[in-house]
C-alpha cells in the first residue's frame, strides 16, 4: 500500500495530509486546528489507534522500527495528544507483533534484545469499562479545550 504524507504550513497548527492508495485522503487532513470539528478530532484519534498499530506491526515484521520517523503528527499539534497517541499505538503494534512471534504466528527480524524487551513490556493490567470511558472523556475534554483556545493569527 502506498502512503503519501505531506505537511501543510505550520505542522504545529495544521494536521498532516495523509493519503493511501487504498483509502485516499483523510477528511481532517491539512486543516488548521481551529477548523477541526469534534468528529474530526475523534477521527484523528481513531486513525492514530488503527494506522499506528498497523504501521508498528508492519515495521516490526520488517525489522525496521522507528516510532519518531513513522509519526506524521507534530509533537506540538493539539497539545501533543495525536503525537503521543500515535507513539503509544505504534509501540502497541510492535508488542502485538512480538506476541504473535513468540506464539509462532509471525516471523520477526527483531534482535534477541528487542524481543526480550518486548516480552517484558507485554504485561498489562485489565481496564474496567468505567476506567476506559473516564479516560476517553478526559482525553476528549482536553482536546476540546485545546481547540477552543484562541489561536494567534500570523500576518504575512
Place of cell 522500527: 65
- Residue 66's region, left for phi above 0, alpha for psi from -120 to 50, else beta, is beta
**Which range has the worst mean pLDDT, 2-11, 49-58, 101-110, 131-140?**
101-110
Cell numbers placing 91: 509501540
Distances (CA, A) of 101 to 55, 62, 71, 78: 16, 13, 24, 35
Contacts of 29 (CB under 8 A, 6+ apart): 15, 16, 17, 18, 19
Q: Give the pLDDT score at 18.
A: 84
pLDDT confidence tier of residue 99, bands split at 50, 70 and 90? confident
Q: Give the pLDDT score at 52.
A: 93
Is the pTM value of this prediction over 0.85?
no
Which residues is 19 bridged to in the sheet? 4, 25
- Tell me: the pLDDT tens digits for 21-72? 877 888 899 899 999 888 899 999 999 999 999 999 999 999 999 998 999 9
Q: Give the pLDDT score at 100.
A: 78
**Which range has the worst mean pLDDT, 17-26, 28-37, 73-82, 118-127?**
118-127
C-alpha–C-alpha distance, residues 118 and 61, integer Å:
13
User: Domain segments of the chain: what residues?
Assistant: 3-141
Amino acid at each position: 500500500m502506498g502512503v503519501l504524507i505531506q505537511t501543510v504550513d505550520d505542522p504545529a497548527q495544521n494536521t498532516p495530509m495523509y493519503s493511501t492508495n487504498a483509502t485516499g485522503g483523510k477528511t481532517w487532513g491539512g486543516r488548521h486546528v481551529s477548523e477541526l470539528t469534534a468528529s474530526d478530532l475523534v477521527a484523528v484519534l481513531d486513525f492514530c489507534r488503527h494506522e499506528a498499530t498497523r504501521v508498528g506491526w508492519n515495521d516490526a515484521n520488517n525489522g525496521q522500527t522507528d516510532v519518531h520517523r513513522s509519526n506524521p503528527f507534530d509533537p506540538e499539534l493539539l497539545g501533543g495528544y495525536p503525537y503521543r497517541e500515535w507513539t503509544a499505538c505504534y509501540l502497541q503494534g510492535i508488542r502485538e507483533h512480538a506476541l504473535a512471534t513468540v506464539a509462532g504466528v509471525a516471523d520477526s527480524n527483531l534482535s534477541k534484545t528487542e524481543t526480550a524487551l518486548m516480552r517484558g513490556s507485554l504485561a498489562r493490567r485489565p481496564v474496567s469499562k468505567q476506567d476506559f470511558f473516564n479516560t476517553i472523556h478526559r482525553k476528549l475534554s482536553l482536546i476540546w479545550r485545546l481547540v477552543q483556545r484562541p489561536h494567534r493569527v500570523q500576518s504575512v
